[in-house]
Amino acid sequence: MQRIVECVPNFSDGRNPDTINQIKEEIECVSNVKLLNVESDWDYNRTVITFVGTPEGVKDAAFKAIAKAAELINMSKQKGEHPRIGATDVCPFVPVSNVTMETCVELASELGKEVGDRLGIPVYLYAEAARTAERKDLSNIRKGEYEGLKEKLSCEDWKPDYGPGVFDETVKRTGATVIGARNFLIAYNVNLETGDVRIANRIAGIIRESGSKGIPGKLKCVKAMGVELRKHGITQVSMNLTNFNVTPIHVAYNAVKEQASLLGIKVTGSEIIGLVPKKALIDAGRFYLNDPPQASEEELINGAISNLGLSQLTKFIPDKKVIEYLI
């Protein structure tokens, strides 16, 4: 059986198609690697690229993509709604088939050293690859974002795992990169019919596991924040579902919908950024269709798409979004 690793780097440019295409081409030129998905967002000013392949192939493709992003994206001029710390903001490895988490941790460490030594970019290891408890959580590393990186690098507790510990001219342009190993997560956003991002942030604080102002949140394995989409005149509760078996998509959607209703705000649909496991959609379809015993896979997935409003902003096409169909 083939060994397969998934890699999902996030780049801090969602507005320049030429930049995104050049990064994508770096990945496509590597043998034993298959590009699955490229998804850009103008408001977030962020692009998420998903590819799979052999461990060595995926690591090589990730290095090439990070190098190209460092060449093309100038962080001293970059702005966007999504938190970010560098041109390649985060680069996780995910075990898919016949690969252990330990292998992905090794890949993260090897890539981190290569990026630090060859490209002169500060690298922090996170999630399962983290070397300290504080660095397991991406939000801790990203706190202060690119604008706070100079101060972060001057702090002894925040020296990078690899690469320079000073804010030189190279780092001023590239920022830092966070590399790690994790299990599959779903990047999931729920749309609110309001332009007031304070409402989105209020709902995010109620539902996310960490809660708000010392009060625990309602949903386990959920990270959330409010984001304004100026281009669409709406806001989103932007979530990472770090374990969709603990908090499924439909549970997260209904929780946001419930809190929005209490505030007199309408939910107009949702979107999945990047790819989604088939099981997550089938579970949602069973919930919304009352678990019909004779329902086909297609009927269950279509039921999920319809009830979650997944085609409100952009059309949701299962063949292009469900990871099992692409692999």
Question: Are 36 and 146 within one domain?
Answer: yes
**C-alpha neighbours within 13 Å on the C-beta side of residue 177:** 36
Question: Are 234 and 157 within one domain?
Answer: no
Question: Are 161 and 25 within one domain?
Answer: yes
Question: Are 221 and 316 within one domain?
Answer: yes
Q: What is the CATH number of the domain that holds 144?
A: 3.30.990.10
Structurally, the chain folds into a number of domains equal to 2
Host domain of residue 230: 186-326
**C-alpha neighbours within 13 Å on the C-beta side of residue 189:** 24
Question: Are 148 and 65 within one domain?
Answer: yes
CB neighbour class for 157 (10 Å; exposed up to 12, middle 13-18, buried from 19): exposed
Question: Are 38 and 154 within one domain?
Answer: yes
User: Is the CB of residue 189 less than 8 Å from the CB of residue 227?
Assistant: yes
Question: Are 107 and 222 within one domain?
Answer: no
Structure tokens at 196: 């007031």
Q: What is the CATH number of the domain that holds 287?
A: 3.30.70.670
Question: Are 107 and 133 within one domain?
Answer: yes
The answer to whether residue 82 is catalytic is: yes
DSSP state of 286: H
Question: Are 172 and 33 within one domain?
Answer: yes
24, 59, 82, 250: which one is catalytic?
Answer: 82
Question: Are 190 and 170 within one domain?
Answer: no
What dihedral angle (degrees, nearest 10) is formed by the CA atoms of 186, 246, 178, 142?
100
End position of a domain, from candidates 181, 206, 225: 181
Residue-by-residue pLDDT tens, the chain, 327 positions: 689 999 999 999 999 999 999 999 999 999 999 999 999 999 999 999 999 999 999 999 999 999 999 999 999 999 999 999 999 999 999 999 999 999 999 999 999 999 999 999 999 999 999 999 999 999 999 999 999 999 999 999 999 999 999 999 999 999 999 999 999 999 999 999 999 999 999 999 999 999 999 999 999 999 999 999 988 899 999 999 999 999 999 999 999 999 999 999 999 999 999 999 999 999 999 999 998 888 999 999 999 999 999 987 778 999 999 999 998
d(CA 26, CA 12): 16
Question: Are 103 and 88 within one domain?
Answer: yes
Question: Are 252 and 276 within one domain?
Answer: yes
End position of a domain, from candidates 181, 212, 229: 181
End position of a domain, from candidates 181, 215, 248: 181
